[in-house]
Amino acid sequence: MSETRKLILKMLQENRISIDEADQLLAAIVSPPPAAEAAPRSETQAPPRAEAPPRSGQPDETLLNKIPRVDQVMGSLGSMLDNLSQQVGPGLEKRLEGWFQQRSGQQQSSRPPKTAETPPTPAKTVSQKDQHLEVPSHCSKLHYQHLPGDLKVSGHERAEIIASFEIQLAPGQTLPIDPEQLRLESQQEDQSLTLQLHGAEAFKAEHGQIRLQLKVPASLDLALQTESHDIVLEQLQHPQGQAHLRSRSGDLLLRNLALKEIDLQSESGNLNVEQASEHLHIQTRSGDVVVKGSIFDGKIRSQSGSLQIEASVQHSLSAESSSGDLNVQLLAGQGHLSLQSQSGDIQLSGALQSEVSLNSASGDLQGDLQIAPSAAVNLISHSGDVDVILRPESQCQVELEAQVGEVTCRLPLDNQEASSHTLSGQLGNGEGRFKARTQSGDILIS
């Protein structure tokens, strides 16, 4: 093999030139030899015999013969390289090397130069001095809707409202307003006081947010609202106090509250509540709900969010979710419990002393329960399983029924009666009642 051919093949192996590029280079210098004409067939020559078609699953040899093999391609390329070497001479190597260097330089020069990345501009925070608003003695309710940022409200014993603004600019944004012009103005109507924000008209969502912190008299009932920002309500205690909070997509966070009534509504924001209230009402479309504390009368609704409750219930608690899971830990109390879910699972733990119902269409029901003599517990699932731990201190009649599934009880029951899909018996004195029923799921009691 000639040195020129070795050089070209080496360049092909090192991917410095492709086969197409080699063909283009050779075609520009060497013309392909004319194809030899086929010899005319003698009239006396017998016509070719028709071949039998290939068997199914076997390749057609005629088609395979028409496909060029690798050695044929490389041989054709080798002969072309030999012709090129004879015509051009020993200077081909230097000429090709110079051509490749020129081509490489053109590719590098066509690439745009790298520029140093500019570090992101950090967010800027601008604070303003506190503003004091006097609250008339006969005012009992405060209304305020804060749109440009988060809202934080806490209670104190003074008869005034203290407002603190904090402007947080988004990276790369300039301040479109004068911070000194930010102010709250109050408008009084009967026993209600309404606050309005002025000086922020030019501040848009892309600029960042204006956070507002309010300290309000603890005796005021609150009606607070945001659109896409959070509301934090904390350190507020009053035996007759009320708090009504609304947010479209922001979160609602309540800490250390003791009020008569708490009403929370959110479309997609999460709710986290630590409170002690007489009446608690929570409604959300897709947000998750976490409730801790003490509840006298509570109603909690969510369409697709999960519900997690860890509280004592004195009178009643109703919790419902269409597709979210329910997890309830009953700390104390003799209140009634009603837990419902369409497709989510329900978990309940605690000592039950009153009427309790768990109902799920397709979700599972799970429990770790102690049944008091005064309790009446009813678990119903259409297609989900029932898995419950009954504590040894339980005093109840046990009735289990699975129309299609299996029924298993690992506890020693007095007066036990069992069939293929039902089981009944007694724990302790049997004064309470525990009943579980499912249509197509299984039941396990341990």
Q: What is the pLDDT of residues 323-358, one digit of tens each?
A: 999 999 999 988 999 999 999 999 999 999 999 999
pLDDT confidence of residue 113: 56
pLDDT confidence of residue 128: 78
* 10-residue averages of pLDDT along the chain (446 residues): 61 71 57 48 46 47 45 51 50 51 54 54 74 94 96 96 95 92 94 95 94 96 96 95 96 95 95 92 94 95 94 95 94 93 94 95 94 96 94 94 92 90 93 94 94
* Longest pairwise C-alpha distance within the chain: 129
Helix (H, G, I), strand (E, B) or coil at 76: helix
Quote the tokens at residue 362: 């397709």
pTM: 0.70
pLDDT confidence of residue 276: 84
pLDDT confidence of residue 257: 93
Q: Give the count of alpha carbons within 13 A of 369, CB side only.
A: 35
Do 263 and 184 share a structural domain?
no
Is residue 47 in some structural domain? no
pLDDT confidence of residue 36: 46
Is residue 285 in some structural domain? yes
Is residue 71 in some structural domain? no
- Using only C-alpha atoms, the chain has a radius of gyration, in whole angstroms, of 41
Do 199 and 126 share a structural domain?
yes
| Residue 443, domain extent | 345-446
pLDDT confidence of residue 42: 44
Do 400 and 382 share a structural domain?
yes
pLDDT confidence of residue 78: 52
Four-residue CA torsion sign, 413, 417, 422, 425: negative
A 10 A CB-CB count for 281 gives 16
Do 392 and 351 share a structural domain?
yes
Do 431 and 360 share a structural domain?
yes
Do 199 and 269 share a structural domain?
no
What CA–CA distance (Å, rounded) separates 256 from 253? Answer: 10
Residue that finishes a domain, picked among 324, 339, 354: 339
Q: How many domains does the chain have?
A: 3
Do 223 and 284 share a structural domain?
no
Do 411 and 328 share a structural domain?
no
Is residue 113 in some structural domain? no
Kindly state the DSSP code that residue 205 receives in the 8-state scheme: G
Is residue 2 in some structural domain? no
Is residue 370 in some structural domain? yes
Is residue 170 in some structural domain? yes
pLDDT confidence of residue 73: 44
Is residue 443 in some structural domain? yes
Residue that finishes a domain, picked among 288, 315, 339: 339
Kindly state the DSSP code that residue 384 receives in the 8-state scheme: S
Residue that finishes a domain, picked among 178, 194, 229: 229
Do 252 and 310 share a structural domain?
yes
